[in-house]
């Protein structure tokens, strides 16, 4: 089914507004994927707060020309989908790599991370990174640790003093 010129212009505009402006995007090849698998993939991507779009390559190339995603133009061949996020690229990369393990027909072609081109192999490495929340928890622990130890040290002085007084009192009672 051929698209009208107006529909093509609308798609180029839509791609330009969403895909081309996304700081984090991953390109997928999905030749041979079944409808239930696509539904599951979309659900996993939505859980991360990201979006998923199947693109018409020629129209997507027009929309991303001169934009950061344009660096990945050589990957726009064959059936192509773009998973993109404004927030957490690590969670999106984890969702994509986990899904690719269960559905080998999904091929990671490449990606864009904070405007920098990323090879398909590096997406798996990104997926192994801790999420933002995990990093924040580790940072909070590291910041609290010295303070907690300092408070315990300060509390130990009066506690030890009370223990010594108690032992002195017991020794006097025994005399």
pLDDT score at 41 = 92
CA 161 to chain centre: 52
DSSP category for residue 79: S
User: What span, in angstroms and rounded, lies between the C-alpha atoms of 27 and 76?
Assistant: 8
pLDDT in tens, 53-99: 888 888 888 888 888 788 888 888 888 899 998 887 888 999 999 99
pLDDT score at 43 = 94
Domain 5-129 = CATH 3.40.605.10:
no
pTM of the model: 0.70
pLDDT in tens, 84-93: 988 878 889 9
Q: β-pairing, 107-113 with 24-29? A: antiparallel
DSSP category for residue 83: E
% of the chain beyond a pLDDT of 90: 13
Q: Kindly list the domain boundaries of the chain, sorted by start residue.
A: 5-129, 131-175
Residue 1 has pLDDT above 60, yes or no: no
pLDDT in tens, 29-55: 988 888 999 999 999 999 988 988 888
User: Three-state DSSP class for 27?
Assistant: strand
């Amino acid at each position: 089914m051929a698209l009208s010129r107006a529909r093509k212009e609308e798609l180029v505009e839509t791609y330009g507004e969403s895909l081309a402006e996304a700081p984090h995007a991953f390109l997928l090849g999905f030749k041979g994927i079944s409808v239930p698998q696509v539904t599951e993939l979309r659900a996993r991507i939505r859980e991360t707060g990201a979006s998923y779009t199947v693109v018409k390559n020629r129209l997507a190339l027009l929309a991303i020309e001169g934009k950061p995603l344009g660096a990945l133009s050589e990957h726009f061949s064959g059936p192509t989908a773009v998973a993109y996020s404004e927030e957490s690229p690590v969670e999106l990369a984890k969702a994509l790599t986990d899904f690719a393990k269960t559905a080998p027909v999904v091929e990671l072609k490449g990606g864009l991370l904070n405007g920098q081109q990323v090879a398909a192999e590096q997406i798996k490495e990104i997926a192994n990174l801790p999420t933002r929340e995990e990093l924040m928890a580790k940072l909070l622990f590291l910041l609290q640790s010295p303070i907690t130890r300092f408070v315990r040290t300060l509390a130990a002085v009066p506690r030890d003093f009370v223990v010594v007084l108690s032992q002195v009192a017991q020794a006097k009672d025994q005399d």
